[in-house]
């Protein structure tokens, strides 16, 4: 690695500084919310109206969390507001469409920035787009995510059933990294010692590498479930889901909440707030900068190549990019109980699962995928007929339910399976619909209703098997979704190119200078 006096390093540093100046220029203020970077041993967040520089220190006095010290603020501290409850519930979100940076909040911002730059392939500059930015030049959606700010980072989280407190909606601060250790605690796995967020030994760790903490405020330690079933509604806005529960539009999810607890302000996904990094975070209990699935796409400096994880061509092999030693709910449970069977349905982040949809695909097993959405239960014809993606992901999610129900009933594709101690079911329709129409659209709400019906099919299968009353459940998303403004388009890449800067932009926000 070149030292600071190396001519190449000096040129690169100058290009980073030049790119930063252009990105926080008022001309790009409508589309650039923040620019993040790590240099000279500190982290920086820059906006058009101010910047902050802060340092990370290791935990002390038995704590398992990093400590952060603000070193310098110029103008407004762009990360100064880290409130968890901004723009919640739905009425507050609707009252503040396309919020300005001065209105926004960035929960757990210091930790989220720091973890990202721990990865050796982290970008030189991470650009966080504004709430209103519509990616028109890249086939933009009415619903967007990826930001560190309130609505896009907020995912729903409900936990229910045996071993869970029945408190309804509660105010508990939480991140997606907390889900894996909480599930393992529910299942009665004893700590075996691992490492914490700082990489040092952590005696109470339930995973070999654990960034999160057990959400003990949500658990009843006097009970233990025999099985845990997890549902992920990809890209589901937490405020919208909570509103639909109250309105009676999601009765199966409402039943889960009635038998447990939900986080009123949601659970915070990891930066970048996009799909594959956060699916992996849920299963591993690690942030993207630690588990190795850094983004949906990034640049591997060491190998000199682009890595893409979130595409139909790469889902089956996405976990090849996991950092060595990364643990998972599946692996930790089977270490504690070698006979435990676990299943991962329609989930690319299948690390360590006994059964996996994508493992069947890797082995060339033919599955009975439906040819059309016509006639499938829990399918909104008013949307799957005119919207191709709605039809495709209706078929995908129906196929997932067929797998989950077959496994619960003991057989799928002629192969017998034991009842899983941990069953994970990923639903994809919500992400497609919330992108298509925005989170406040009828197509988005239809996708939740359809998915609620499919969750009901899984719950009914557990009831028929006679085990539902011995189960715990959790429901989450990988990130939130926010309404974008089609009038606010544009891209920062042409501005950098016009200035003569050599910058590679991966996944619309990971900037690599000199590549």
For residues 296 and 118, what is the distance between their CA atoms, to the nearest angstrom?
17
Among 412, 395, 308, which Cα is nearest to 359's? 412
Dist CA 105 CA 92 (whole Å): 14
**pLDDT attached to residue 472:** 98
Report the distance separating Cα 28 and Cα 498, nearest Å.
14
Maximum CA pair distance of the chain?
A: 70
How open is the CA angle 457-381-256, to the nearest 5 degrees? 30
Of 152, 136, 237, 201, the closest CA to residue 477 belongs to 237
**pLDDT, tens digit, 9 for 90 and up, residues 493-504:** 999 999 999 999
- H-assigned helices in 233-386: 238-246, 251-258, 275-284, 288-291, 329-336, 357-362, 381-384
Expressed in percent and rounded to 5, the helix, strand and coil fractions of the chain are 35, 20, 45
For 313, how many CA atoms within 13 A lie in the half-sphere containing its CB?
3
Find all residues with CB under 8 Å of 430, minimum gap 6, and list them: 233, 234, 235, 236, 444, 447, 448, 451, 477
Q: How far is CA 99 from CA 107, 133, 448, in A?
A: 16, 11, 25
pLDDT value for 139: 60
The HSE-up count of residue 427 (CA atoms within 13 Å, CB side) is 31
State the Cα–Cα distance between residues 442 and 428, nearest whole angstrom. 17
Question: Could you tell me if 362 and 372 are in contact, meaning their C-beta atoms sit under 8 angstroms apart?
Answer: no
- Nearest 10 degrees: Cα torsion 186, 191, 195, 196: 50
Q: What is the dihedral of CA 179, 213, 218, 234, to 10 degrees?
A: -20
Answer for the pair 140, 159: CB distance below 8 angstroms, yes or no. Answer: no
Region for residue 82 given its phi and psi (left: phi exceeds 0; alpha: psi -120 to 50; beta: otherwise): alpha
Query: What is the 3-state secondary structure of 50-119?
Result: EEEEEEEECCCCCCCCCEEEEEEEEECCCCCCCCCCCCCCHHHHHHCCCCCCCCCCCCCHHHHHHHHCCC
Name the 3-class secondary structure at 393. Answer: helix
Enclosing H/E stretch for 475: strand 471-476
pLDDT of residue 1: 41
**Beta bridge partners of residue 47, listed in sequence order:** 50
The residue whose two tokens read 């806005």 is 237
Classify strands 422-427 and 342-345 as parallel, antiparallel or unpaired.
Answer: parallel
Confidence at residue 465, expressed as pLDDT on a 0 to 100 scale: 98
Task: Calculate ∠ Cα 313-412-423, nearest 5°.
Answer: 75
Which positions of the chain have pLDDT values less than 70? 1-5, 136-139
325/486 Cα distance (integer angstroms): 43
């Amino acid at each position: 690695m070149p030292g600071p006096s190396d001519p190449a390093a000096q040129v690169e540093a100058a290009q980073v500084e030049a790119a930063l100046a252009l990105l926080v220029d008022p001309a790009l203020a409508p589309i650039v919310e923040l620019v993040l970077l790590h240099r000279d041993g500190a982290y920086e967040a820059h906006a058009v109206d101010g910047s902050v520089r802060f340092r990370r220190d290791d935990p002390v006095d038995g704590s398992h969390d990093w400590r952060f010290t603000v070193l310098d603020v110029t103008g407004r501290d762009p990360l100064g507001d880290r409130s968890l409850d901004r723009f919640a519930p739905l009425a507050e979100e609707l009252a503040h469409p396309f919020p300005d940076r001065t209105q926004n909040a960035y929960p757990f911002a210091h930790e989220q920035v720091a973890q990202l730059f721990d990865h050796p392939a982290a970008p030189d500059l991470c650009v966080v787009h504004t709430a209103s930015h519509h990616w028109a030049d890249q086939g933009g959606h009415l619903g967007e995510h990826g930001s560190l700010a309130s609505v896009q980072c907020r995912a729903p989280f409900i936990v229910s059933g045996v071993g869970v407190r029945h408190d309804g909606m509660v105010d508990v601060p939480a991140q997606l990294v907390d889900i894996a250790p909480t599930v393992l605690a529910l299942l009665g796995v004893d700590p075996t010692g691992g490492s914490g967020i700082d990489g040092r030994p952590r005696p109470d760790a339930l995973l070999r590498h654990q960034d999160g903490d057990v959400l003990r405020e949500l658990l009843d330690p006097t009970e233990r479930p025999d099985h845990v079933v997890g549902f992920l509604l990809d890209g589901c806005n937490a405020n919208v889901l909570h509103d639909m529960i109250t309105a009676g539009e999601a009765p199966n999810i409402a039943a889960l909440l009635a038998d447990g607890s939900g986080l009123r302000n949601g659970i915070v996904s990891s930066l970048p707030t996009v799909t594959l990094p956060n699916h992996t975070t849920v299963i591993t209990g690690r942030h993207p900068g630690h588990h190795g699935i850094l983004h949906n796409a990034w640049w591997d400096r060491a190998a000199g190549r682009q890595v893409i994880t979130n595409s139909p061509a790469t889902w089956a092999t996405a976990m090849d990019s996991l950092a060595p030693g990364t643990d998972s709910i599946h692996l930790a449970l089977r270490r504690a109980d070698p006979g435990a069977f676990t299943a991962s349905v329609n989930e690319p982040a299948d690390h360590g699962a006994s059964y996996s949809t994508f493992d069947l695909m890797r082995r060339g097993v033919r599955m009975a995928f439906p040819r059309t959405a016509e006639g499938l239960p829990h399918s909104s014809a008013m949307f799957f007929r005119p919207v191709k993606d709605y039809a495709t992901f209706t078929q995908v999610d129906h196929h997932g339910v067929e797998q989950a129900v077959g496994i619960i009933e003991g057989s799928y594709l002629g192969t017998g399976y034991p009842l899983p101690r941990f069953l994970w079911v990923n639903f994809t329709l919500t992400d497609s619909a919330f992108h298509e129409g925005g989170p406040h659209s009828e197509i988005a709400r239809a996708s939740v209703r359809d998915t609620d019906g499919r969750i009901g099919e899984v719950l009914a299968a557990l009831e028929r098997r006679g085990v539902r009353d011995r189960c715990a459940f959790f429901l989450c998303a990988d990130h939130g979704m926010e309404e974008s403004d089609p009038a606010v388009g544009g891209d920062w890449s042409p501005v950098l190119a016009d200035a003569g800067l050599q910058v590679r932009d991966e996944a619309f926000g990971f900037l690599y200078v000199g590549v």
